[in-house]
Structure 1
Amino acid sequence: MELQFLGTGAGMPSKERNTSSLALKLYEERGTLWLFDCGEATQHQILHTTIKPRKIEKLFITHLHGDHIFGLPGLLSSRSFLGGEEPAPLTLYGPKGLMKWIQFTLELTKTHLNYPIHFVEIEEGVIFEDEHFIVTAKELEHVIPCFGFRIEQKPLPGELYIDKALELGIPKGPLLGKLKSGEDVELEDGTIVRSKDVTGPPKKGFVVAILGDTIYCKQSVELSRDADIVVHEATFDHATAKLAKDYGHSTNVDAAKVAKEANAKYLILNHISSRFLPRDLENLLKEAKKVFPHVFVAKDFSSYQWKNGQLIDLSAKNL
């Protein structure tokens, strides 16, 4: 799993940061990616990455403020005109009103899509579940309805003890794969080899909390409980805490408090106000680390890989 930030600014674009959008790359897990929010010029940001819009399987919108949705009509339209294979169906999750806005925009502009969109106007609770993932939404505390999401990967198959399987007569090939995936298999002589006898215990999947705009609230903590990664807005800093509260936003210290109370492993600060210049980022980081030690400040195009229980900053690795 990999997170790539396409826009990390707040309110409006700046020279340093575009408006909100985040890609959750699940290429190894399901061969697709999920997009969270789609601020103005998100498709332009995508042009500077290896992301293929036709691979976007699901798109989650936290709330209907323009810096989180104004890039959506353009991206949906362009997805129809890309070369190569026909775009797959797209599921669009968001607050009530999103479907009406998109359908009206497409109709008014006579925009035809060559793929279907399935709209899910979300309420609190589980909004998606299959055999591999479960996504839960909770309403946060902002100036308009705004949601946060908890993405949980279900337990993965345990390690396959190949030597033990071979000793029991399992030939090399597809039967080994079935055992690893949890299936029992039957040999030609009728012997049943049980998966649990040749595999280790299931491995814990990852948990990511991606939160929309909000003041500090208990819902953020609940979504982030024991999460591996929390992506939390930090529009303001400790010195501008009053402004944060007045405008329904959080500070870097608020975000750190959420991560600490939730017993999360890592925190990524996002949605940074343009009032903070590159030289200010070190102070944003230091303030947050006084409360919670494992913190990153996202920048546009930053990439973070989750591997073997560790969060790796790929951007720093490439410097």
Structure 2
Amino acid sequence: MQLEFLGTGAGSPSKQRNVTSVALRLLEERNAIWLFDVGEATQHQILYTTIRPRKIEKIFITHLHGDHIFGLPGLLSSRSFQGGNEPLTIYGPVGIKRFVQTALQVSESRLSYPLHFVEIDHEGEIFRDQGFTVYAKKLDHKITCYGYRIVEHDHPGELQVDKLRAMNVPSGPVYGQLKAGKTVKLADGRALNGQDFIGPSQPGRIVAILGDTRQTKNAVWLARDANVLVHESTFGKDEAKLAHNYYHSTSKQAAEVAKKAGAKRLFLTHISARYAGKAAYQLAYQVRNYFPATRVVNDLDVFDIPFNKQGERNGE
């Protein structure tokens, strides 16, 4: 599991930063990519990565401001030209379906794959399968805006093969039965319970990706015990009044959310063009006394999201 930042700027693109888009790379987990927001020129940013548009399985839109959605029509069309034929689902506030369908209809674009929409009209669980659950909560922005909490389910424990070999248990189909937790009777009469030979489960990882927002308790809920919190930082530490007036957050407010939630790492994004070069990094430096594991991200940064250490669960 990795996070790759395709755009980290706020409002409009600059020479240093494109507008918002984040890729959650789940290539090992499900051979797929999930995108969160698709600002203008996201498909251009993808050209500088190893991401293949046909691998994009889901797109989650936080809100309908242009710097978060204007890249959608072009990306969806290009996915057809680049061999995409698997279904793609777009999640987002009510209105995202009309925006995309209107753009495709007016431009007479034809997609080579089924396109599905899930317009969010409630808070809570919006997706679940055997590997992941995704939750959405409303944030506090000028228009309807959501944050997303992606929860990877726990991985089953590994079969303790060394323990079986030490007991002279022959390899073969019996190992598969024990791995499934079944009780197996061996040829020599011994009965083995598979549960006795399975190691502890590996806790899944949690990623919280927030849209534009003022301070809100829902941000803390979304980030609770997260391995990574991606939070906007449109304004600096001492600009709380400006942030409130424009429905955004300061770097300090983002750090406070991470601390209250017990998150492990905080990535600051949605950086205003006013903060160029070294000034952008100051957004992180000025709040590390509140939350040390804070980093300002740049376009095309890639970060691994490791599993918790053995025996460590989220929240510990």
* Deviation of the 1:91 alpha carbon: 0.9
Bigger mean CA deviation after superposition, 300-309 or 25-34: 300-309
Change in Cα spacing, 1:240 to 1:133, as seen in structure 2 (3 Å) is same
Deviations 1:83-124 (A, max 9, x none): 4xx431101100001011111211111111010011100121
- Counterparts in 2 of 1:153-302, with a 5 A limit? 153-166=152-165, 167=167, 169-172=169-172, 176=175, 179-180=178-179, 182-184=180-182, 193-302=192-301
Paired with 2:307 and 2:270, the residues of 1 have a C-alpha distance of: 28
Change in Cα spacing, 1:188 to 1:200, as seen in structure 2 (3 Å) is closer
Paired with 1:46 and 1:32, the residues of 2 have a C-alpha distance of: 15
Bigger mean CA deviation after superposition, 285-294 or 33-42: 285-294
Paired with 2:170 and 2:27, the residues of 1 have a C-alpha distance of: 30
Alignment counterpart, residue 87 of structure 2, candidates 86, 89, 93:
89
* Deviation of the 1:126 alpha carbon: 0.1
Aligned to 1:303: 302
Secondary structure, aligned partner of 2:298:
coil
* Deviation of the 1:241 alpha carbon: 2.2
Paired with 1:112 and 1:141, the residues of 2 have a C-alpha distance of: 36
Change in Cα spacing, 1:288 to 1:193, as seen in structure 2 (3 Å) is same
1:207–1:228 contact (8 Å) kept in structure 2: yes
Deviations 1:154-179 (A, max 9, x none): 1111132112234363525x764665
Paired with 2:43 and 2:174, the residues of 1 have a C-alpha distance of: 43
* Deviation of the 1:130 alpha carbon: 0.9
**Residue 147 (structure 1) aligned with residue 149 (structure 2):** no
* Deviation of the 1:33 alpha carbon: 1.1
Change in Cα spacing, 1:115 to 1:161, as seen in structure 2 (3 Å) is same
Letter in 2 for 1:95: P
Paired with 1:93 and 1:194, the residues of 2 have a C-alpha distance of: 44
Paired with 1:21 and 1:185, the residues of 2 have a C-alpha distance of: 49
Change in Cα spacing, 1:146 to 1:168, as seen in structure 2 (3 Å) is farther
* Deviation of the 1:186 alpha carbon: 5.2
Secondary structure, aligned partner of 2:40:
coil
* Deviation of the 1:263 alpha carbon: 1.0
Paired with 1:54 and 1:191, the residues of 2 have a C-alpha distance of: 51
Deviations 1:54-85 (A, max 9, x none): 001111000000000000000000000014xx
Q: How many residues align?
A: 306
Secondary structure, aligned partner of 2:305:
strand
Paired with 2:242 and 2:177, the residues of 1 have a C-alpha distance of: 56
Aligned to 1:17: 17
Aligned to 1:113: 111
* Deviation of the 1:195 alpha carbon: 3.3
Aligned to 1:317: none
Secondary structure, aligned partner of 1:209:
strand
Q: Percent identity of the aligned residues?
A: 52
Secondary structure, aligned partner of 1:107:
helix
Paired with 1:307 and 1:176, the residues of 2 have a C-alpha distance of: 28
Letter in 1 for 2:263: A
Paired with 2:13 and 2:89, the residues of 1 have a C-alpha distance of: 27
Please give the TM-score of this superposition, normalised by the length of structure 2: 0.91
Q: Which runs of 5+ in 2 are unaligned?
A: 310-316
Bigger mean CA deviation after superposition, 191-200 or 126-135: 191-200
Paired with 2:175 and 2:55, the residues of 1 have a C-alpha distance of: 30
Paired with 2:282 and 2:176, the residues of 1 have a C-alpha distance of: 50
* Deviation of the 1:191 alpha carbon: 7.6
- Counterparts in 2 of 1:44-59, with a 5 A limit? 44-59=44-59
Q: Which runs of 5+ in 1 are unaligned?
A: 311-319
Deviations 1:14-41 (A, max 9, x none): 0000000000001111111110000000
Secondary structure, aligned partner of 2:239:
helix
Aligned to 2:75: 75
Letter in 2 for 1:293: P
1:35–1:60 contact (8 Å) kept in structure 2: yes
1:138–1:219 contact (8 Å) kept in structure 2: yes
Paired with 2:85 and 2:174, the residues of 1 have a C-alpha distance of: 34
Please give the TM-score of this superposition, normalised by the length of structure 1: 0.91
Aligned to 2:8: 8
2:237–2:287 contact (8 Å) kept in structure 1: no
